[in-house]
Structure 1
Amino acid sequence: MTDDSDVGEHILEVLEPLLRSCTSLVVSERTNLNHRGGGLRVTYEVMLNPGATTVHVDQEVTVERADAPRRRPSRPALPRAGRTLDP
């Protein structure tokens, strides 16, 4: 998942409760994988809960990284080249 095990653990602190809170999924315990040079690699077995047919999300969530590059503001499109409607 990442070469920085501290970052990986922080991600898992957010991800694991989300996975486990979904009643439509059955989530195994995590398995740590060996990775040359350190870091963190994990796997989960995730299956659909018997009888589950749909998953409903009640809230939209937006996540932005604090270290993400700034977005350039969009500008209006240029007018199309070509014929004009004036005679």
Structure 2
Amino acid sequence: MVQLRVMTDDHGEGEEVLALLEPLLQACTALVVSEPTELHHRGGGLRVVYTVLPAPNATTVRVQVERDDPPAGPARGAGRRTPVRAPRRQALPPGS
């Protein structure tokens, strides 16, 4: 059984992603997609699972999607600090 899971601690962001993802899954004729199952999470957030199977006699279709990013303007980037990334761990020496 193949499952697709949408999991996030930000419920609102998860709902936004599902609003974009669900129509794509339902429109795909090469897949049979189950109804979504919402799992409960103690800390809130969102957990949704779909069971996905190839459709009988499905043919592979190439799909190309292009990003449509909003233009970066003064309100988007000015005055904001670049997020600080955690330093990467160094690999252990051989034989450790």
* TM-score bucket of the superposed structures, by smaller chain: 0.5 to 0.7
Map residues 1-87 of structure 1 onto 2, 5 A cutoff: 1-57=7-63, 59-62=64-67, 64=69
Instruction: Tell me the SS of whatever aligns to 1:17.
Output: helix
> Aligned pairs, how many?
68
- TM-score, L = length of structure 1: 0.66
User: Percent of counterpart pairs with the same letter?
Assistant: 58
Give the Cα separation in 1 of the matches to 2:27 and 2:17: 16
Instruction: Say which structure is richer in strand.
Output: 2
Give the Cα separation in 1 of the matches to 2:9 and 2:69: 21
Deviation string, structure 1 residues 17-47 (Cα, Å, up to 9, x no partner): 0111111111110000111210000100111
Instruction: Tell me the SS of whatever aligns to 2:8.
Output: coil
Compare relative contact order (CA 8 Å, sep 6+) and give the higher one, 1 or 2: 2
Which structure 2 residue ranges, 5 or more long, are not aligned? 1-6, 77-81, 83-96
- TM-score, L = length of structure 2: 0.60
Which structure 1 residue ranges, 5 or more long, are not aligned? 71-87
Instruction: Tell me the SS of whatever aligns to 1:45.
Output: strand
Q: Looking at CA atoms only, which structure, 1 or 2, has the larger radius of gyration?
A: 1
Two-structure CA RMSD over aligned residues (Å) = 2.6
